[in-house]
Chain A
Amino acid sequence: AQSVTQPDIHITVSEGASLELRCNYSYGATPYLFWYVQSPGQGLQLLLKYFSGDTLVQGIKGFEAEFKRSQSSFNLRKPSVHWSDAAEYFCAVGANRDDKIIFGKGTRLHILP
């Protein structure tokens, strides 16, 4: 069965610094991969997704993620964070067409002024 792991529960970075959130997945074939963001008390918003093709995926709000098959990873990056990026971030993996998407437990991002 597929699974997804986000090793970091909390990450703190300074405003203007670069960001990388880690995500590792377990699945035999090429999965569908997603990153979502959740502000406090809100639903989840899709940042970006990967199905196939170019392994570097661009998303909304200046985020990007890179699929690395050899490392079973799909890390989320942003060159320079803004205070408004403080939120919880969820990595998710989908497998077969009729299977459900599995979500990681999330990484909460804190921004220092």
Chain B
Amino acid sequence: DGGITQSPKYLFRKEGQNVTLSCEQNLNHDAMYWYRQDPGQGLRLIYYSQIVNDFQKGDIAEGYSVSREKKESFPLTVTSAQKNPTAFYLCASSVDAGNNYGYTFGSGTRLTVV
């Protein structure tokens, strides 16, 4: 079945370390997105990519970086510059940059800084 796979499901990081969250999709979708979710704050957009080798900052990009070298993959790196990285991270994809079909979401990665 087609879908989005996020790994790992749980991730622990020491302060000062970079960590990379994986997002892979086999839906042949052009666009991919990273969201951060904190209790009571809904979903906040970190980065998005509408096509391979191109991506744009979202509302809270500081302390994060991404790459889009392959259509199927959109990894997110949480750098040591992110002051409060503990959160639930969601990856999503859509057929294209339009809104006709909505987004398909992965099951998320919970990152905890220890």
Contacts and interface: CB of A to CB of B under 8 A. Distances in A.
Point out which of A44, A90, A101, A103 has the most chain B C-beta atoms below 10 A from its C-beta.
A44
Residues of A in contact with B, size category: 20 to 34
A46 B3 CA distance: 13
B110 A97 contact: no
Given A46-B102, A49-B102, A104-B42, A97 B97 contact: yes
Contacts, number: 59
B42 A101 contact: no
A15 to B, nearest CB: 25
Contacts of A95: 99
B21 interface: no
Residues of B in contact with A, size category: 20 to 34
Contacts of B42: 90, 103-106
B37 to A, nearest CB: 9
Interface string A41-61: 111111001010000000000
B17 interface: no
Point out which of A46, A90, A100, A101 has the most chain B C-beta atoms below 10 A from its C-beta.
A100
A7 to B, nearest CB: 13
A63 interface: no
Interface of A: 9, 32, 34, 36, 41-46, 49, 51, 90, 92, 94-95, 97-101, 103-106
Interface of B: 4, 6, 33, 40-43, 45, 48, 50, 58, 88, 90, 92, 97-108, 110
